[in-house]
C-alpha cells in the first residue's frame, strides 16, 4: 500500500487556459509562475515543479499555497502600486538556505542575520509572519531518537501488510525459535474476521496534574500523596473489546496474562496487535503464547512510539483524571479502569493511523 503524500493542488483553470496565458505572458516573473503551474498540472511535486523553474522548494510551497487560496490572482506577483517587499524572491531563497544551514535560530538572531546580510530590518511584530510565509516553523525542538530508522512509517506499513497476508507459517515465529509449541490452542477460533488493536504499558499517577483548572483563591489543592508502583497494561481495540489491567511488573508472564484477557474479550476472531519492542514483548515466550492465542504481533520500528495510537489514549486519560482526587491506591486503580473504558470507546485516536497503514481491501 503506497500513500501519495504530495501537496493537493486545486485546479482553478483548465490546462488549455494556462497554455494560452503562457503564450501571452511577456514578463519573466509571470512566465515563471505559469511554468511552475504547468509543471504541477503535468504531475510534478511542488519541489520538482519549482526546481524546473530554478526556484527552491520553499518558494514552490509559497506559490502553491497562493494558487490554492487565490487562484491566478493570488499566484501572480503584484506589479501595481504599494510598498515593494524588503527582500525580493531571490533574496528570500538565499535567506531560507542560510537559515537551513544554521538552524535552529532565535528570532533575535534572524533579525541580526537579515540586517548583516541584506541591510534591512524587520520589526519584531512582523518578523514571525514573514518567517511563516517563508515556510519556517516555530516550535519546541524534539530530540530525534538516534535508534529510530529514517523511514519508520514505511517499515511499519510493510509489517502491517505482511501480517495481513496470512500464510502457513506462524507470523510471530522467527528463525532460530524452538520448533515446539507453535500451534493455536484448540479452543481458539480465528475465522470470524480480524480485530485491530494497540498495546502498551503506562505509569499514570494519582497526583499527575497536566490540566489547567480555574480557581478563585490560591491555585493549589491538597491531594493525598498516593503512589502506585504498578503498571497499567492496556489494549486499545479499534473494532473489538479494549482491555486494561494493573500488573506489578511488565515481565513476560504478566504480559501474556493480559494477552489471554485480550483473547477472552475478543472471541472468534483473529487479533492484529500493534506494540513496541519491549524485551518482554519480543521474547520467544510472548511471541509463542500470542500465536497460541491467535494473536499476530506487529512490532513498531525502534524509537517510534508516535506510531502507536494508544499513546494518545494514555495522554487523554491522564488529562481527564488530572483534577480528580483519590483516597488510596485501590481507588486510583479503579478510576483508571473506569476512565480507560470510557476513553477507548472513541476510535478517533486511531483514525489517521488506519487511513495511513491499512489497505482496506486486505483488511477483513
- pLDDT for res 3: 40
- pLDDT for res 82: 54
CATH number assigned to the domain covering 152-210+225-357: 3.30.420.10
Q: Report the alpha-carbon distance of residue 319 to residue 358 in Å, rounded.
A: 29
Q: Report the alpha-carbon distance of residue 330 to residue 219 in Å, rounded.
A: 27
Annotated domain spans of the chain: 1-82, 83-138, 152-210+225-357
Nearest CA among 187, 355, 178, 350 for reference residue 273: 350
CA angle 199, 202, 208 (to 5 degrees): 145
Which residues contact residue 204 at a Cβ distance below 8 angstroms, ignoring those fewer than 6 apart? Answer: 232, 314, 317, 318, 321, 336
Taking the model in full, what pTM does it have?
0.63
Binned at pLDDT 50, 70 and 90, residue 259 comes out as: very high
What percent of the chain lies above the pLDDT cut of 90?
Answer: 41
Cell output for 225: 500523596
Instruction: Kindly state the average pLDDT of the residues 61-89.
Output: 78
Q: Report the alpha-carbon distance of residue 249 to residue 241 in Å, rounded.
A: 23
Instruction: Kindly state the average pLDDT of the residues 278-293.
Output: 96
Per residue in 180-237, pLDDT (tens digit) is 999 999 999 988 899 999 999 999 887 766 556 665 666 665 666 678 899 999 999 9
Average pLDDT, the chain: 86
Binned at pLDDT 50, 70 and 90, residue 80 comes out as: low
Q: Report the alpha-carbon distance of residue 333 to residue 129 in Å, rounded.
A: 47
Amino acid at each position: 500500500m503506497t500513500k501519495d503524500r504530495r501537496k493537493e493542488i486545486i485546479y482553478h483553470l483548465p490546462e488549455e487556459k494556462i497554455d494560452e496565458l503562457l503564450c501571452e505572458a511577456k514578463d519573466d516573473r509571470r512566465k515563471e509562475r505559469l511554468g511552475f503551474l504547468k509543471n504541477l498540472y503535468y504531475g510534478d511535486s511542488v519541489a520538482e515543479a519549482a526546481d524546473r523553474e530554478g526556484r527552491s522548494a520553499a518558494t514552490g510551497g509559497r506559490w502553491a499555497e497562493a494558487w490554492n487560496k487565490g487562484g491566478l490572482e493570488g499566484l501572480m506577483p503584484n506589479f501595481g502600486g504599494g510598498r515593494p517587499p524588503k527582500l525580493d524572491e531571490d533574496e528570500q531563497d538565499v535567506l531560507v538556505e542560510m537559515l537551513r544551514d544554521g538552524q535552529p535560530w532565535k528570532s533575535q538572531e534572524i533579525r541580526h542575520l537579515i540586517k548583516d546580510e541584506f541591510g534591512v530590518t524587520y520589526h519584531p511584530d512582523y518578523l514571525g509572519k514573514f518567517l511563516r510565509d517563508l515556510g519556517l516553523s516555530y516550535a519546541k525542538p524534539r530530540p530525534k531518537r538516534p535508534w529510530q530508522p529514517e523511514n519508520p512509517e514505511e517499515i511499519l506499513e510493510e509489517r502491517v501488510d505482511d501480517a495481513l497476508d496470512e500464510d502457513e507459517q506462524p507470523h510471530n515465529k522467527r528463525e532460530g525459535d524452538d520448533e515446539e509449541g507453535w500451534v493455536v490452542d484448540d479452543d481458539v477460533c480465528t475465522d470470524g474476521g480480524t480485530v485491530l488493536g494497540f498495546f502498551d504499558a503506562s505509569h499514570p499517577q494519582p497526583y499527575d496534574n497536566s490540566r489547567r483548572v480555574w480557581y478563585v483563591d490560591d491555585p493549589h489543592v491538597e491531594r493525598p500523596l498516593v503512589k502506585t508502583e504498578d503498571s497499567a497494561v492496556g489494549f486499545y481495540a479499534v473494532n473489538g473489546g479494549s482491555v486494561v489491567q494493573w500488573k506489578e511488573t511488565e515481565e513476560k508472564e504478566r504480559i501474556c496474562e493480559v494477552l489471554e484477557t485480550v483473547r477472552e474479550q475478543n472471541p472468534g476472531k483473529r487479533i492484529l496487535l500493534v506494540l513496541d519492542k519491549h524485551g518482554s514483548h519480543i521474547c520467544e515466550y510472548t511471541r509463542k503464547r500470542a500465536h497460541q492465542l491467535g494473536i499476530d504481533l506487529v512490532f513498531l520500528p525502534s524509537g517510534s512510539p508516535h506510531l502507536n495510537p494508544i499513546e494518545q489514549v494514555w495522554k487523554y486519560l491522564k488529562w481527564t483524571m488530572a483534577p480528580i482526587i483519590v483516597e488510596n491506591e485501590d481507588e486510583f486503580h479503579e478510576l483508571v479502569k473506569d476512565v480507560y473504558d470510557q476513553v477507548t470507546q472513541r476510535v478517533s485516536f486511531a483514525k489517521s493511523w488506519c487511513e495511513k497503514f491499512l489497505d482496506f481491501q486486505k483488511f477483513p
